């Protein structure tokens, strides 16, 4: 069975452990800028939220990529990126509705969550269990949508 990354914004403390473990896993250095997961914090409102690629079924980043460097990988249930095909146009970064596809200027490359090839390093590094790697079921997808909808309502109430 395929798996998915489940994010619980209400559990996130903004500690950045997920971003640090991700950058270390992929690049061997603790640089949140190169992390495939980002933590956005609203300090005045008192909450933080980790954001990563949602591995969209009909991914906008795949649809706009002129060289097919960004492509769907159905067996792994993820959206993948092929550096050799990428021309650096950054269309994928503009198309992503979650802001989860980022162009890293120092190394001139796209960075996005690849689920660490089935063993996301961000999950065990989270001290509050704000991230879980769960079986992708109808119930899990529904829960993920409900969490996103609930978060949106909560954020609108805070504004």
Q: Are 56 and 18 in contact (CB under 8 A)?
A: no
Structural domain harbouring 107:
54-112
Residue 120 and residue 72 share a domain: no
Long-range contacts of 145-153 (CB under 8 A, 24+ apart): 147/6, 147/7, 147/8, 147/9, 151/9, 151/10, 151/49
The dihedral through the CA atoms of 2, 16, 101, 103 has a sign that is negative
Q: Would residue 144 count as lying in a domain?
A: no
Q: What is the CATH number of the domain that holds 15?
A: 3.30.70.20
Q: Quick check: is 64 in a domain?
A: yes
DSSP string, 73-113: ETTTTEEEE-TTT-----HHHHH-TTS--EEETTTTEEE--
**What per-residue confidence (pLDDT) applies to 143?**
80
Tell me, yes or no, whether 15 lies in a domain: yes
Residue 157 lies in a domain: no
Residues 79-125: tens digit of each pLDDT: 999 999 999 999 999 999 989 999 998 889 999 999 999 999 999 99
Shared domain check, 101 and 65: yes
pLDDT digits (tens, 9 = 90+) for 126-152: 999 999 999 888 888 788 777 666 654
Count of structural domains, the chain: 2
- Flag whether 17 is in a domain: yes
């Amino acid at each position: 069975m395929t798996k998915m990354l489940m994010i619980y914004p209400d559990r996130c403390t903004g500690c950045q452990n997920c971003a640090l473990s991700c950058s270390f896993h992929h690049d061997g250095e603790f640089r949140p800028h190169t992390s495939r997961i980002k933590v956005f914090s609203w300090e005045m409102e008192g909450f933080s939220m980790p954001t990563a690629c949602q591995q969209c079924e009909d991914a906008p980043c795949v649809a706009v990529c002129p060289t097919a460097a960004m492509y769907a990988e159905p067996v792994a249930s993820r959206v993948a990126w092929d550096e050799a095909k990428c021309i650096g146009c950054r269309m994928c970064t503009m198309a992503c509705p979650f802001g989860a596809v980022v162009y890293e200027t120092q190394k001139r490359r796209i960075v996005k969550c690849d689920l660490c090839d089935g063993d996301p390093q961000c999950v065990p590094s989270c001290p509050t269990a704000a991230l879980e790697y769960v079986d992708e079921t109808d119930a899990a997808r529904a829960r993920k949508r409900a969490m996103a909808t609930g978060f949106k309502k909560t954020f609108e109430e805070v504004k």
